[in-house]
Chain A
Amino acid sequence: MSTPPAVSRVLFRRNLLFLAGVVFVGALTVGSSLATDFSFPAGLASVPKAFSWMAVNFIPNARALKALPNIGLKLAETVLVSIMATVLAGGAALVLAIFASRTTRPHPAASAVVRLVASVCRNVPVVAWAMIFLLSFGQNVLTGLLALFIGTVGYLTRAYAEAIDETAESSVEALRASGASWLQTVAQAVFPSVLPQITSWMLYMLETNIRDATLVGILTGTGIGFLFDIYYKSMNYSSAALVVLGIIIVVIAIESTSNALRKVIL
C-alpha cells in the first residue's frame, strides 16, 4: 500500500517546518552568545580551573566552624519562613480554588476573576515579587514572606482547582442531586476527595520555597541567602562554603521527609 500524495505532502511539510525550527534555535543561540560576549569554548576551558579554586578555597575550615551556630540559626529562619509562607498560602489557595474550580464555583464570574489573579501571582517570578515588596516594605523578613506567599498562592490555586475538577466532580453532582447545600457539598465531598493531592502539592511547594527563599533572602537581606552574600563579599569563602553545604543538607532532608510523608498519605 503506498501513501497517498496528500499525506506525504503533509509529512514533507512537517519535516521542513521541523528543520526550520532547528536552524532558527541554533541561530538564536549563536547570536545571543555573540551579543553577550560569552564564548562557550572559553567557558568550558575554565571549568577545571574553577574546580581547583573550589578545592582550595571552598572547603569549610576552623574559621567556618566558628560561624556554624549563626549559619544554623539563619538556616532555621529560612526554613521556618518557607513553612509559614507555604502553609498560609495553602490555606488561602484552597479557598480561592473552590471559587476557581468549574465544579464548585458559585458563579462563573467569580471563577474568572480568581483565575486571573492567580495567574498574575504565578507568572510574575517570586524574585520580581520580592523586588516589588522591597520598595514598600524594605529589607526585612516580611518582604520575603510576602513574596513567597504570593507566588505560592498563584501556583497552588491552579493546582488545587484542577485537583477538585479531576477528583470531586462526580461526587459533587451526586450530593447536589440529593439536596445537599453548597457548603455541605464542599465539606463532605470536595475536601475528603482532594486531601491527598492538596497535601502533596503543598509539600512540593515547601521544597520549592526553601530553594527560592535562599535567593529571595539575598534581595531582602534576611535568612541564609543574605548570610552567604555577606561571607562571599567579605571573601570568607570557607564560611560561604559551609552555608552552601548546610543548604544542600536541609533541601535533601526536607525532600526525603516529604517523600516519606507522601507515601503515608497516598
Chain B
Amino acid sequence: MAILEITHLSKRYKDVLALSDVSLKVRAGEFVTVIGRSGAGKSTLLRCVNRLVEANSGSIEFDGVQVLTLKKQDLRHLRTRIGMIFQHFNLVPRQTVIENVLHGLLGYKSTLAGVLGFYTAEEKEKAFDILDRLGLKDQIHKRCDQLSGGQKQRVGIARALIQEPRLILCDEPIASLDPGSAKKIMDKLYRISRDLNITILMNLHQVDVAIKYSDRIIGVREGRIVYDDDAQKLKKKTVAEIYGSEAEDILFEEQAG
C-alpha cells in the first residue's frame, strides 16, 4: 500500500523549472533513494512533501491526506508525522543534545509549553531512551557544537525519531561526513527502516551507497524522473543518463571505492 503518492508535481523558481510533472509512489516501510546531479530538483522534491517548499501544481497524498491543500494547524499535524534529516544537521549548536532532541516534540505541544520549553518527565525519558539506543548516552548534556559530525547527525536522527514519524525525509544525510561516520549513519537509517518499519525517502549523491541500502532508486534529471525501479536493476548506462557529463566522475568513484 502506498503511504506517499506524488502525482504530476511541478515547481518553478522564477525562471527555473525545478520539478516537471513528477509522479511517484512510495510503499509503507520502503527505503527509496533519489539520485541525480546537484540542481536536478532532488532537494525541492523532498521539501515539497512537507511543504517547506510550496509546489505550483500537482498533488501529494500522504497516508490518505491531501498535503497541498492543508491549512495551518493540519499542516503542523502532518509535519509531526514526517521526520527530516539534513546535510548540515540543522541543530541549535549552543543547546545541549537532549534539548535538541526534545525540539522534535514541539509540534505536539501547546504553543505556550513549547515557547517556554516545558517538557514532561515522560518526554524527557523518551528522549533519553532514543539517545541511548543511538549510542549518545554519555553526550546527553553536551552542547551540540562540541560533537563530531557523525554524532551531530545522530542527534538529528534522534530528533526525527522522537516525533514517531511514519516517514523520514533525508536530505543528503552523509554529504558532510567522513566515510566511517557515513557508513554508521547509513546503517542506523537502514535499521530504523527495517526494525521500526519507518519509510525512508532519501536524496543521495553516492550511487554505490544508494544501490547498497535502497529497495528502490529514483533517478532525477533536470526536474524529471528518468529512472524508477529496483536498486539492483540500475545499469551503468542509466547512471550515465542521469548524470550526463558528470557520469564519468561518478563511475570512477565507484570503481575506486
Contacts and interface: CB of A to CB of B under 8 A. Distances in A.
Interface stretch (B17-25, B107-115, B121-129, B181-189): B107-115
B71 to A, nearest CB: 13
A contacts with B: majority SS? helix
A176 B93 CA distance: 17
Contact of A192 (B82, B90, B94): B94
Interface string B84-113: 101011111111000000011011110100
Given A178-B163, A179-B76, A181-B114, A173 B92 contact: no
Q: How large is the interface on A (under 10, 10 to 19, 20 to 34, 35 or more residues)?
A: 20 to 34
Contact of B103 (A170, A180, A181, A193): A180
Contacts of A185: 106
Contacts, number: 86
Interface residues of B, number: 35
Contacts of A30: none
Contacts of A168: 92
A72 to B, nearest CB: 40
A177 B92 contact: no
B123 to A, nearest CB: 14
A147 interface: no
A188 B94 CA distance: 11
Contact of A174 (B103, B111, B114, B116): B103
28 contacts: A170-B86, A170-B88, A171-B92, A173-B52, A174-B84, A174-B90, A174-B159, A176-B52, A176-B79, A177-B169, A178-B79, A178-B83, A178-B103, A178-B107, A179-B77, A179-B79, A179-B107, A179-B163, A180-B103, A181-B106, A183-B115, A187-B114, A188-B106, A188-B114, A188-B115, A192-B94, A193-B92, A193-B93
Given A174-B86, A175-B103, A184-B106, 11 more contacts: A177-B52, A177-B82, A179-B76, A179-B77, A179-B78, A180-B106, A183-B114, A188-B115, A189-B103, A193-B94, A196-B94
Interface of A: 168, 170-171, 173-181, 183-185, 187-189, 192-193, 195-196
Interface of B: 50, 52, 76-80, 82-84, 86, 88-95, 103-104, 106-109, 111, 114-117, 156, 159-160, 163, 169
